[in-house]
Amino acid sequence: MAPSTLTALANEKTLQTSFIRDEEERPKVAYNKFSDEIPVISLQGIDDINGSRRSEICEKIVNAFEDWGVFQVIDHGIDAELISEMTKLAKEFFELPPDEKLRFDMSGGKKGGFIVSSHLQGEVVQDWREIVTYFSYPIRARDYSRWPDKPQGWIAVTEKYSEKLMDLACKLLEVLSEAMGLEKEALTKACVDMDQKVVVNFYPKCPEPDLTLGLKRHTDPGTITLLLQDQVGGLQATKDNGKTWITVQPVEGAFVVNLGDHGHYLSNGRFKNADHQAVVNSNSSRLSIATFQNPAPDAKVYPLKIREGEKAIMDEPITFAEMYRRKMSKDLELARLKKLAKEQTQEAKLESKPIEEILA
Ligand SMILES: O=C(O)CCC(=O)C(=O)O
Ligand SMILES: [Fe+2]
């Protein structure tokens, strides 16, 4: 049976089979073997519209998105105290007793709250993580009854945090719009009424980290994601379809900026949707806070700019809700085929054994 929370399993000696991944999915690089390949970009001077710094920053962001779909941002103007308060309260939430966390259990499709492991129903293998999710924008759609009220003060800090991150995201989308040769507001307008979802990921210490993942390989569906991670390490990226991986070097106070599928489509594939995963370890737990900036569900998804000599990477415009539905059903179909292939291999193995061995 699935555990109610993961924290209890963190002290066991071996990993429950529901978390064990197939060999090809398991981590290939250590959680703390850091790489500096992902650029760290300072936003200092970005507001100086006519200054040369703005175009330099713009160029760096474009290069990073063309190459990896990921960069880290520093000097972003978000108060270090707000960041440390948000992190401290998030950690305290995960230290609460299971019953307290499960007061906000969101299994069964509730919008927001606490859940263990994977968000994709029908997944065969579970992720080694616990999460808390806040649906923070549009503000009129907030359901505060799904926002954990403990530790005390967390709701107010989350409100502030989500507002500041919305501002930062919009600023980055302006730069990207300009880089695509469009008016400043082009990308935010394409989102119609921007949605924001804050997901706090907690990865407890893991007894056999080499056999599992904290969060399996994926691309984020939305426009961009701003990820705050602690200093432990575990975020990994690949740009060759999973052949080789790098572990992103944690940088104090920085946000990792990932381009999502929506951003990828709007740029007609010029910018990569970051292919990433999170690995876990047996030495310490890890916390990351992902802020997803998504378009409104009925926003149209279609390239905003098709450069000369290029062909549109989509046949026709679809809504973001439809784009998401197609992504999820593709993932589920892949999971189903994988399960089937595994069962067939096991059957074949059994068939090739002498009957005495099977019966023994
Ligand atoms: O924890 C991390 O480093 C990655 C989190 C992530 O990719 C996500 O929440 O989508
Ligand atoms: Fe992600």
pLDDT band at 352 (very low <50, low <70, confident <90, very high): confident
Q: Ligand 1, residues 29, 127, 215: which to mutate, most atoms within 8 A of Cβ?
A: 215
Q: What is the pLDDT confidence band of residue 357, given thresholds at 50, 70 and 90? A: low
Angstrom distance (rounded) from CA 54 to CA 351: 66
The per-residue pLDDT for 360 is 55
Q: What is the mean pLDDT of residues 230-238?
A: 98
ipTM of the complex: 0.99
Rounded to the nearest 5 degrees, what angle is found at the Cα of 252, between the Cα atoms of 194 and 154?
55
Centroid of ligand 2 to alpha carbon of 277 (angstroms): 7
Residue 254 scores a pLDDT above 50: yes
Tell me, yes or no, if the pTM score tops 0.90. yes
Question: For position 1, what pLDDT does the model report?
Answer: 41
What atom of ligand 1 comes closest to residue 203's alpha carbon? Answer: 1
Q: Is the pLDDT of residue 319 over 50?
A: yes
Ligand 1 pocket residues where CB is under 6 Å: 199, 201, 215, 220, 227, 229, 234-235, 276, 278, 288, 290
DSSP letters, 49-67, are: TTSHHHHHHHHHHHHHHHH
pLDDT digits (tens, 9 = 90+) for 115-154: 888 655 567 789 999 999 999 999 999 999 999 999 999 9
